[in-house]
């Protein structure tokens, strides 16, 4: 897989792309990364990429010409990239979006700055992604977040092939639920003990406990996920019981 970014701060990417799992995956050749400097497609002495918005208003906008020239050039290098623009007006990013992007051969992220991008540049967008309902100063951090979420799904990127399939939101074995609670040594920490079943060595019982715990946590913290979750009829009935029991109970703020 090839991941590329187009931005005015290409130097922001290297530390993240060469560290930890991303760095290892890149060194293993599981993905190839390149950050392009949008200013390389300007033609004036000041390498101008922004201008004042028509109609007035505060701040500056990213001009359409450098973006269009850069994208024409990068597209021509082939194969045709899947072009993603980052904007708060986009579709909220999710694990499903990451799973979809991880199947692409070449993905090109366009990162905005200032007050955003001239609307005509979006003609190049295959999709617009938002990280959430808040405003960042630029799209570079969004590109790093999405790259991290995508790369860890590439087979071989994580040491343990299974470790991405039953995580929170995963449409794999996790069934779209939050992840179950996890514990490591010591088995007793200041009187707080680990559930007995996890010490039993009985894999079937451990799997059943985890599934049940994942369902309970999802009901408590993210009931909105239940509708799209892959549940058996028995689990759906249990979720409905748990939801009824929670009505009127004090709110649990969660946190896994
Ligand atoms: N004026 C824009 C608005 O109100 O929608 C915000 C522009 S923001 C300051 C500059 C750039 O940061 C955007 O063009 C986009 O690339 C990026 N950005 C900011 N918030 C984002 C978010 N929630 N998701 C994805 N990208 C975001």
217 Cα: distance to centroid of ligand 1 (angstroms): 32
Q: Compute the radius of gyration of the chain from its Cα atoms.
A: 23
Does the bond joining 79 to the residue before it have cis omega, within 30 degrees of 0?
Answer: yes
Q: Domain with 250 in it: what CATH number?
A: 1.10.1270.20
Residue 159: its pLDDT value, please?
81
User: Which of 91, 125, 151 is the last residue before a domain boundary?
Assistant: 151
Residue ending a domain, choose from 151, 182, 209? 151
At 75 the pLDDT is 98
Atom 23 of ligand 1, nearest CA residue: 88
Q: Of 151, 184, 200, at which residue does a domain stop? A: 151
pLDDT for the residue 174: 80
Q: Same structural domain for residues 120 and 237?
A: no
User: What pLDDT sits at residue 252?
Assistant: 65
Q: Tell me the pLDDT of the chain (256 aa) as tens digits.
A: 999 999 999 999 999 999 999 999 999 999 999 999 999 999 999 999 999 999 999 999 999 999 999 999 999 999 999 999 999 999 999 999 999 999 999 999 999 999 999 999 999 999 999 999 999 999 999 999 999 999 999 999 998 655 666 677 877 768 899 999 999 999 999 999 999 999 999 999 999 999 999 999 999 999 999 999 999 999 999 999 999 999 877 666 666 6
Decide if 160 is inside a domain.
no
Q: Which of 84, 116, 145, 149 has the most ligand 1 atoms within 8 A of CB, as the residue to mutate?
A: 116
125 is in which domain, residue-wise? 2-151
Q: Quick one: CA dihedral 96, 102, 115, 10, positive or negative?
A: positive
If one counts the domains in the chain, the total is 2
Asked if the structure places residue 156 within a domain, the reply is: no
Which protein residue's CA is at the shortest distance from atom 9 of ligand 1? 137
CB-based contact 11:41 (threshold 8 Å): no
Please report the pLDDT score of residue 255 as a whole number. 65
Distance 135 CA to ligand 1 centre (A): 5
* CATH classification of the domain holding 96: 3.40.1280.10
Same domain for 12 and 135? yes
My answer on whether 144 and 172 are in the same domain is: no
Residue 240 belongs to some domain of the structure: yes
* Structure-token match 């002495």, residue found: 45
What lines the ligand 1 site, CB under 6 Å? 86-89, 111-113, 115-117, 130-132, 134-139, 142
pTM for the predicted model, two decimal places: 0.93
């Amino acid at each position: 897989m090839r991941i590329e970014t187009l931005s005015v701060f290409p130097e922001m990417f290297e530390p993240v792309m060469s560290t930890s799992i991303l760095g290892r995956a890149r060194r293993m050749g599981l993905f190839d990364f390149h950050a392009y400097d949008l200013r390389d497609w300007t033609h004036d002495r000041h390498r101008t990429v922004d201008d004042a918005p028509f109609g007035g208003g505060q701040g500056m906008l990213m001009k359409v010409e450098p973006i269009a020239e850069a994208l024409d050039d990068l597209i021509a290098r082939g194969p045709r990239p899947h072009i993603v623009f980052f904007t708060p007006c986009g579709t909220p990013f999710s694990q499903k979006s990451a799973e979809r992007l991880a199947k692409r051969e070449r993905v090109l992220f366009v990162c905005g700055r200032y007050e955003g991008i001239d609307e005509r540049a979006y003609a190049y967008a295959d999709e617009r992604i938002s990280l959430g309902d808040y405003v960042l100063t630029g799209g570079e951090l969004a590109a790093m977040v999405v790259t991290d979420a995508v790369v860890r799904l590439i087979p071989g990127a994580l040491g343990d092939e299974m470790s991405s399939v039953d995580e929170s939101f995963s449409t794999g074995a996790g069934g779209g639920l939050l992840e179950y609670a996890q514990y490591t040594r010591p088995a007793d920490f200041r009187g707080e003990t680990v559930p007995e079943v996890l010490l039993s060595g009985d894999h079937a019982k451990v799997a059943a406990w985890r599934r049940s715990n994942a369902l309970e946590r999802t009901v408590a913290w993210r009931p909105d996920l239940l509708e799209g979750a892959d549940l058996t009829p028995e689990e759906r009935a249990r979720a409905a019981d748990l939801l009824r029991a929670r009505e009127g109970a004090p709110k649990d703020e969660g946190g896994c």
